[in-house]
């Protein structure tokens, strides 16, 4: 079955671009424009979403807020979260890692790294029962 | 690309908000607005990189940095800073529109640097780029992948930091396999030269456990012989030497540092114990990479040509073996030859691939040309490209440059109308010029499409008559008129402009394209525009040919030109005076090669080969077909340049030479 990735970015063009790229690689994608919307989409599709790929800096609910929300809800806490971001602050990333962030891809990214990070995060979830 | 357009729109929205916040800040300083400015700049920066707007990324990064200082209270905002940022917003907008304002952008970045230099007293020593040396020792947990860490990504990130030398220890399983099986059993020693600080280097390992990595700054070349280092790796004196050499090479400042001085004695005595162990390990230690970002190597064309030459000879040699083994039915040998064949072909393909470069390298030149030509002529052009990643032989791209530029010049000069005229015709003010490129089979197609006025056939006809190329009373098809347009000495420009009136016409374009074995085709619709399609072979050196026999001599005909073959008796062929055959209801002229070469004896039966080149057909009569052969094309030398019925020569499998027929010239 196709793996589903939830792509969160307030920039529609980037969201669409990332979604299309992932779909070309054979993934199914869902999109959300901010953290709150993403959380709702995730809850509604809890049994199909395999990975959340989110921007960090978004208005209202940031990627970090989203991460914390996901990790504190048992029904979706096991879904790996990857930040796709231009944020470089190590403190922020350390905090995110402690909150359960799986990986951090810096924008702009290199395609190989990008897909291998995603594949890796997806394989994580399948290992766990 | 759609996303790009979408992105530009969105980014401009953000720039608008940014402008607004800046104007608010000008009225009164407000931490919320500063935060907004910072966030907008950050968004622009992050997204620009995704779509390849490097200058936008760079400029917004510098501005973001500036405002992060304001936000953190390190710096006070002032009018100059706001003015500069507002100006930068305009430049960012221009950059997004693809305008050439890179220099302005660089100027702003310089100004930002001076602001930072004067006010950022707290953050000294940022400007100068000092290369620091580090040693990274990575001992990843075997299950690192299961913890969600992409080890390959970590290695890539290390390479991004600067120049480095990787050493793999304990490579009992090939490293590539460890990566593909996601089970890392090796450990790594990396010497790194980077402008980054120790903390920045450590960031790369953020997701790894503390016990899995050590980053040491190389403050002295003695590091490798120090007790501290020995705690991680036991090294023999030779191995220490090797590392010191590598480090000196990577980090120039190290050579300037004091030569090794003291405290080495105790280390030395202890070394003796561990040498055996270490030696064994050294044998398993391989240096895999030494790279500067991305992993590209530049190779001189000379070396490449040499490689291609050897590969070409190998291709011939492979044919020769096949030829020699022609009647040998032993299956093992046949199998081995088959393997050899598939390997040589693979080798050949990769060798040729090395020479291929994307058409993208022409992009800047074309854009600049379009900008300057459209400015000169007072026309507005929107240039759209697609498929610039299509790859072609470097020499082909070089050869293509002039004809492509000429076609574009023509399209802007003769095709696309002036803005006012376009508006009268209900067309958008901006003329559209599209550049498409794609691969199809063994060929690369390049299309240049404009939405201008199309080719004016009446004008061509009038001009043709004036030049004495056409007859006044005669009707001509569009194809014939297009052919006239591409014939020597034809130029329809009303007056000689600096743009398209350089004494070169479409005939030169056609010749230049033909010289690289390409075709050019034009389709046009009056009032709607024209499309120029170039069809080019992927490479110039390998050619699929049909080997034919004429009185014990072999000749080659490019397979791409062969349309059909059949046998016919000479009596039937020569029955009529006119040398013509009936093919699909059409009378085609034919040339008997025996007759052409002055041989007057004929076998009973010959083979007729219907040649179709650029939609011009003719027939060639040979004795018989020997087979198909992939040959390596070699041009004829200067003495034979005038013999135009042969386009080149090649060596056959048995080592003999054969000429490549340029059939259409036989008939002239």
**Cα B63 vs. chain centroid, distance in angstroms?**
33
Report the distance separating Cα B111 and Cα B126, nearest Å: 15
Q: Report chain A residues whose CB lies below 8 A from the CB of B157.
A: 113
Report the distance separating Cα A10 and Cα A33, nearest Å: 4
Q: How close, in Å, is residue A18 to chain B by CA atoms?
A: 9
Q: Best residue in A12, A120, A123 to probe B by mutation, most B CBs within 10 Å?
A: A120
**For B58-67, how does the pLDDT look when each residue is reduced to its tens digit (9 = 90+)?**
899 889 888 8
Among B4, B6, B153, select the one facing A117 at the smallest CB separation: B153
pLDDT band at residue B296 under the 50/70/90 scheme: low
DSSP tag of B632: E
A97 interfacial to chain B (CB closer than 8 Å): yes
Beta bridge partners of B436: B386, B447
Among A10, A57, A120, select the one facing B150 at the smallest CB separation: A120
Q: How close, in Å, is residue A44 to chain B by CA atoms?
A: 25
pLDDT value at B400 more than 50: yes
Q: Report chain A residues whose CB lies below 8 A from the CB of B201.
A: none
Average pLDDT value for residue range B587-593: 90
Q: Check B51 against A13: CB less than 8 A apart.
A: yes
**For B69-113, how does the pLDDT look when each residue is reduced to its tens digit (9 = 90+)?**
888 888 888 878 888 888 898 889 989 888 888 888 888 888 888
pLDDT value of residue B298: 63
- If residue B393 lies in a helix (H) or strand (E), which one and from where to where? strand B391-393
pLDDT value at B202 more than 90: no
Average pLDDT value for residue range B35-51: 84
A86 interfacial to chain B (CB closer than 8 Å): yes
* Residue that is written with structure tokens 């020597």 in the block: B488
Residues of chain B with CATH 1.10.287: 301-357
Q: Hey, which residues 27-46 in chain A have their CB within 8 Å of chain B?
A: none
Average pLDDT value for residue range B521-544: 84
Angle (deg, nearest 10), helices A12-24 and B31-50: 30
Q: Which distant-in-sequence residues (6+ apart) come within 8 Å of B633 by Cβ?
A: B540, B541, B542, B543, B648, B650, B660
Q: Best residue in B49, B150, B181 to probe A by mutation, most A CBs within 10 Å?
A: B150
Q: Report chain B residues whose CB lies below 8 A from the CB of A102.
A: 148
Share of chain B above pLDDT 90, in %: 8
Report the distance separating Cα B68 and Cα B538, nearest Å: 51
Residues of chain B with CATH 3.30.70.1110: 132-292
| Helix extents (H) in chain A | 12-24, 35-44, 63-71, 90-98, 111-127
| Helix, strand, or coil (residue B590) | strand
pLDDT value of residue B399: 84
Q: How close, in Å, is residue A39 to chain B by CA atoms?
A: 21
| Fold type of domain B359-537 | Heat Shock Protein 90 (3.30.565)
Q: Report chain A residues whose CB lies below 8 A from the CB of B9.
A: 13
Report the distance separating Cα B273 and Cα B230, nearest Å: 12
pLDDT band at residue B531 under the 50/70/90 scheme: very high
Angle (deg, nearest 10), helices B506-515 and B394-410: 160
> What are the backbone dihedrals phi and psi of residue B491, each rounded to the nearest 5 degrees, phi first?
-150, 125
Residue of B nearest to A107 (CA): B46
pLDDT value at B575 more than 80: yes
pLDDT value of residue A128: 40
Least confident of B29-33, B176-180, B425-429, B501-505: B501-505
* Residue that is written with structure tokens 């073996």 in the block: B321
A108 interfacial to chain B (CB closer than 8 Å): yes
| Helix, strand, or coil (residue B255) | helix
A·B CB contacts under 8 A: 88
Q: Check B6 against A112: CB less than 8 A apart.
A: no
Domain locations along chain A = 4-127
**For B119-158, how does the pLDDT look when each residue is reduced to its tens digit (9 = 90+)?**
444 444 444 467 788 889 888 888 787 777 778 878 888 8
pLDDT value of residue B647: 82
pLDDT value of residue B297: 65
Q: Check A86 against B148: CB less than 8 A apart.
A: no
* Residue that is written with structure tokens 């990857």 in the block: A82
pLDDT value of residue B118: 56
* Residue that is written with structure tokens 């003015």 in the block: B83
Residue of A nearest to B38 (CA): A57
pLDDT value at A129 more than 50: no
- The answer to whether B407 and B452 are in contact (CB under 8 A) is no
Q: Which distant-in-sequence residues (6+ apart) come within 8 Å of A56 by Cβ?
A: A62, A63, A64, A83, A85, A86, A87, A92
Burial (0-12, 13-18, 19+ Cβ within 10 Å), B389: exposed
Q: How close, in Å, is residue B36 to chain A by CA atoms?
A: 10
Chain mean pLDDT for chain B: 79
| Fold type of domain B542-667 | SH3 type barrels. (2.30.30)
Among B3, B43, B149, select the one facing A17 at the smallest CB separation: B3
A63 interfacial to chain B (CB closer than 8 Å): no
Give the count of beta carbons closer than 10 Å to the beta carbon of residue B211: 8
Report the distance separating Cα B636 and Cα B665, nearest Å: 16
pLDDT value of residue B270: 40
**For B177-197, how does the pLDDT look when each residue is reduced to its tens digit (9 = 90+)?**
888 888 888 888 888 888 888
Q: Report chain B residues whose CB lies below 8 A from the CB of A59.
A: 39
A104 interfacial to chain B (CB closer than 8 Å): yes
Reference B143, options A123, A113, A129; nearest CA is A123
**For A95-108, how does the pLDDT look when each residue is reduced to its tens digit (9 = 90+)?**
888 888 888 887 66
Among B4, B7, B148, select the one facing A103 at the smallest CB separation: B148
pLDDT value of residue B345: 79
Q: Which stretches of chain B sit within 8 Å of chain A by CB?
A: 3-4, 6-7, 9-10, 39, 42-43, 45-47, 49-52, 57, 145-146, 148-150, 152-153, 156-157, 182, 199, 203, 206-207
pLDDT value of residue B262: 38
Residues of chain B with CATH 2.30.30.40: 542-667
CATH code assigned to B132-292: 3.30.70.1110
Report the distance separating Cα A49 and Cα A42, nearest Å: 7
pLDDT value at B530 more than 60: yes
Q: Which CATH class is domain A4-127?
A: alpha beta
pLDDT value at B483 more than 80: yes
Q: Report chain B residues whose CB lies below 8 A from the CB of A116.
A: 150, 152-153
Q: How close, in Å, is residue B93 to chain A by CA atoms?
A: 17
A78 interfacial to chain B (CB closer than 8 Å): no
| Helix, strand, or coil (residue B555) | strand
Residue of A nearest to B68 (CA): A89
Report the distance separating Cα A62 and Cα A59, nearest Å: 6
* Residue that is written with structure tokens 């040398």 in the block: B579
- Distance, first Cα to last Cα, chain B: 48
pLDDT value of residue B539: 66
Least confident of B126-135, B218-227, B300-309, B541-550: B126-135
Q: Report chain A residues whose CB lies below 8 A from the CB of B389.
A: none
Q: Report chain B residues whose CB lies below 8 A from the CB of A100.
A: none
pLDDT value of residue A29: 92
Q: Which CATH class is domain B301-357?
A: mainly alpha
Q: Check A103 against B45: CB less than 8 A apart.
A: no
pLDDT value of residue B492: 52
pLDDT band at residue B272 under the 50/70/90 scheme: very low
pLDDT value of residue B71: 84
CATH architecture of B2-119: Up-down Bundle (1.20)
pLDDT value of residue B494: 46
Q: Check B45 against A102: CB less than 8 A apart.
A: no
**For A31-61, how does the pLDDT look when each residue is reduced to its tens digit (9 = 90+)?**
998 889 999 999 999 889 999 999 888 877 8
pLDDT band at residue B3 under the 50/70/90 scheme: confident
Report the distance separating Cα B212 and Cα B204, nearest Å: 12
pLDDT value of residue B548: 94
pLDDT value at B599 more than 60: yes
Among A13, A87, A113, select the one facing B153 at the smallest CB separation: A113
Q: Check B42 against A86: CB less than 8 A apart.
A: yes
pLDDT value of residue B291: 35
Q: Check A57 against B49: CB less than 8 A apart.
A: no
Higher-pLDDT residue of B3, B170: B170
Average pLDDT value for residue range B493-507: 52
pLDDT value of residue A39: 92
pLDDT value at B25 more than 60: yes
DSSP tag of B585: T
Q: Check B6 against A16: CB less than 8 A apart.
A: yes
Least confident of A38-47, A54-63, B348-357, B546-555: B348-357
Share of chain B above pLDDT 70, in %: 86
Q: Check B156 against A10: CB less than 8 A apart.
A: no
């Amino acid at each position: 079955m196709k793996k589903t990735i939830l792509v969160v970015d307030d920039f529609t063009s980037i969201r669409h671009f990332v979604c299309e790229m992932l779909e070309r690689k054979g993934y199914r994608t869902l999109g959300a424009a901010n953290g709150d919307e993403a959380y709702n989409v995730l809850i509604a599709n809890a049994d199909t979403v395999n990975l959340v790929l989110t921007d960090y800096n978004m208005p209202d609910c940031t990627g970090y807020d989203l991460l914390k929300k996901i990790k504190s809800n048992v029904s979706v806490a096991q879904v790996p979260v990857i930040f796709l971001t231009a944020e470089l602050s190590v403190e922020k990333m350390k905090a995110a890692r402690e909150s359960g962030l799986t990986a951090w891809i810096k924008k702009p990214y290199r395609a190989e790294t990008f897909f291998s990070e995603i594949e890796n995060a997806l394989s994580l979830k399948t290992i766990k029962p | 690309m759609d996303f790009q357009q979408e992105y530009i729109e969105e980014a401009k929205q953000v720039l608008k908000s940014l402008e607004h916040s800046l104007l608010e800040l000008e009225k009164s300083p407000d931490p919320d607005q500063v935060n907004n400015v910072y966030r907008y700049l950050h968004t622009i920066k992050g997204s620009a990189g995704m779509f390849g707007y490097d200058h936008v990324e760079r400029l917004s990064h510098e501005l973001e940095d500036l405002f992060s200082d304001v936000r953190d209270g390190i710096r006070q905002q002032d009018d100059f800073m706001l003015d500069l940022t507002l100006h930068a917003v305009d430049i960012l907008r221009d950059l997004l529109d693809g305008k050439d304002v890179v220099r302005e952008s660089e100027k702003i970045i310089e100004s930002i640097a001076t602001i930072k230099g004067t006010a950022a007293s707290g953050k000294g020593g940022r400007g100068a780029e000092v290369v620091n040396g580090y040693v990274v020792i990575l001992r990843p947990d075997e299950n690192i992948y299961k913890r969600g860490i992409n080890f390959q990504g970590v290695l890539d990130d290390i390479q991004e930091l600067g120049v480095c030398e990787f050493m793999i220890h304990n490579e009992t399983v090939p490293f590539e396999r460890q990566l593909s099986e996601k089970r890392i059993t090796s450990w790594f020693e990396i010497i790194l030269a980077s402008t980054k600080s120790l903390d920045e280097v450590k960031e790369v390992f953020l997701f790894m456990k503390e016990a899995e990595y050590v980053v040491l700054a190389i403050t002295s070349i003695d590091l490798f012989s120090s007790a501290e280092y020995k705690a991680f790796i036991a090294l023999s004196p030779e191995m220490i030497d090797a590392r010191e050499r590598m480090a000196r090479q990577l980090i120039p400042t190290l050579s300037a540092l004091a030569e090794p001085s003291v405290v080495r004695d105790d280390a030395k005595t202890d070394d003796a114990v561990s040498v055996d162990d270490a030696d064994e390990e050294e044998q398993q230690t391989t240096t895999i990479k030494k790279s500067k970002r991305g992993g590209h190597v530049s190779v001189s064309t000379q070396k490449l040509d040499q490689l291609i030459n050897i590969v070409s000879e190998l291709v011939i040699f492979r044919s020769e073996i096949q030829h020699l083994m022609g009647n040998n039915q032993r299956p093992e040998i046949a199998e081995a030859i088959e393997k050899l064949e598939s390997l040589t072909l693979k080798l050949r393909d990769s060798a040729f691939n090395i020479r291929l470069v994307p058409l993208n390298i022409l992009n800047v030149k074309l854009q600049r040309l379009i900008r300057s030509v459209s400015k000169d002529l007072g026309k507005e052009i929107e240039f759209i490209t697609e498929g610039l990643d299509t790859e072609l032989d470097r020499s082909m791209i070089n050869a293509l440059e002039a004809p492509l530029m000429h076609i574009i010049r023509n399209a802007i000069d003769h095709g696309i109308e002036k803005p006012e005229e376009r508006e009268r015709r209900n067309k958008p003010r901006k003329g559209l010029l599209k550049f498409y490129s794609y691969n199809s089979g063994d060929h690369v197609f390049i299309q240049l499409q404009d939405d201008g006025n199309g080719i004016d056939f009446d004008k061509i006809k009038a001009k043709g008559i004036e030049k004495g190329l056409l007859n006044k009373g005669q009707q001509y098809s569009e194809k014939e008129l297009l052919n006239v347009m591409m014939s020597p000495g034809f130029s329809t420009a009303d007056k000689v402009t600096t743009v398209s009136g350089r004494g070169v016409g479409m005939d030169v374009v056609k010749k230049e394209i033909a010289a690289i074995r390409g075709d050019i085709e034009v389709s046009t619709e009056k009032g709607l525009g024209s499309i120029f399609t170039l069809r080019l072979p992927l490479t110039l050196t390998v050619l699929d040919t049909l080997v034919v026999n004429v009185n014990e001599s072999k000749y080659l005909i490019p397979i791409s030109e062969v349309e059909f073959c059949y046998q016919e008796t000479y009596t039937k062929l020569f029955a009529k005076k006119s040398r013509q055959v009936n093919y699909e209801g059409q009378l085609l002229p034919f040339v008997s090669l025996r007759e052409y070469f002055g041989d007057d004896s004929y076998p009973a039966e010959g083979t007729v080969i219907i040649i179709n080149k650029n939609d011009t057909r003719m027939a060639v009569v040979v004795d018989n077909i020997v087979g198909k052969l992939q040959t390596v094309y070699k041009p004829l030398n200067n003495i034979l340049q005038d013999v135009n019925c042969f386009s080149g020569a090649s060596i056959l499998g048995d080592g003999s030479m054969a000429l490549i027929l340029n059939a259409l010239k036989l008939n002239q």
